[in-house]
Structure 1
Amino acid sequence: MKHKYLRLGAIALLLFFGNMVKSQSNNGAPKMGKYGCTVAKYSGGSYQYIPKGSFTLKKDGTYTYAGFEKPSNGKFTVDEKGNLHFKGGYLNDGTAEKIDRPNKFFLVFPTIPDHRWTCGLVQ
């Protein structure tokens, strides 16, 4: 009888940890949609948050950056950690690093004048 409970307990642990791993791997994929970006500037003793446009992720692996009069298009990939890597368009060679808040990233790319932007899902 004792062995029966041990086996049931082991099975319950395997199911529990299996579900944890499964849910963590689902967290790596970003939500498709529009991400608004801002940059923080320190001025006069306080921070100002300045809008820097937005990018929209599409299921087909493309993105559109809307921050200029004419939108800019490119492609993106997602690594195992959930970080975004951009090719082509305004964000070319950029990386949006996933942070500890849901659907939020720190974005850096070669032509960025402000060091780093914070981007979050808006729709």
Structure 2
Amino acid sequence: MPAIPTDIGTMDMDLRKTLAPYFSGFNKTTEQADAEGSMKFMHPQGVIVQKNTTSTFGKEALTDLFKRWYKFTGPYYFNRYHEKYSGGGDWIVVEARMELRKVKDDEVILRGEVVHIWKREQDKWLIFYEQYHVDE
């Protein structure tokens, strides 16, 4: 039986390291406004929720959402900070502040909070659930 970590910071760092290449890959798709590329990081039965507003479920609807979103925003940097990681087994939860900035002129598109729940499917991690809230 594996030892239970006594240092929460160590667990947080392990989860960060696990997701780092996935976040890096996903961020490249936002920087290119690549809807099909973004979908490679989403679970086929994934959900994106704008808190207290809307939700979108499933591969076809999410692909359409990404296409419409990127048409509206263009390429952008997806910056996350004040991240908190938790989870274990086949699930990792990331809670963070976020800021989206246009690649072209560094203009802020939006700021807010985001929660990602990643699910391990076979040998890779996919975003199963995203919930975001936009600052007023």
TM-score normalised by L of structure 1 = 0.41
Q: Which has the higher helix share?
A: 2
Q: Which structure has the higher relative contact order (CA within 8 Å, separation 6+)?
A: 2
Which one has a bigger Cα radius of gyration? 1
TM-score normalised by L of structure 2 = 0.38
